[in-house]
Amino acid sequence: MSYDVEKPDEQWRAELTPAEYAVLRKAGTEPAFVGEYTDTKTAGVYSCRACGAELFRSDTKFESHCGWPSFYDPKDTDAVELLQDNSLGMARTEVRCARCGSHLGHVFEGEGYQTPTDQRYCINSISLTLAPDEG
């Protein structure tokens, strides 16, 4: 796949911490309930930690009690790409940054959350940075 932001693996390793690299570039998962943004209620925009692309707004974030930040919709439909993920012996939908291809987490549907989309974008905090709204 081709992305607007493409870098050699050595450059990603140099720019990201080992933990960020493991999640963003190798599709790892940070431990539940330890991420910086799991319980954050700050208003603002969540962007990709690897390339800065705007991904989610805080007004679509909700408490799912799953251990990772949850959103019911991306900021723009083109902000993320969804890919079939059959790892770990189950069928899931992986969420990646559409600008650089970095792994963000997974999206789940039909779990019964009272959200407008009935979707839960379960995103690793370490994949994101939050720019608080001014004012």
Distance from the first to the final alpha carbon of the chain: 39
Neighbours of 79 (CB within 10 A): 19
- Rg of the chain (C-alpha set): 14
Q: What gap in Å lies between CA 50 and CA 105, rounded to an integer?
A: 14
Catalytic sites, residue numbers:
122
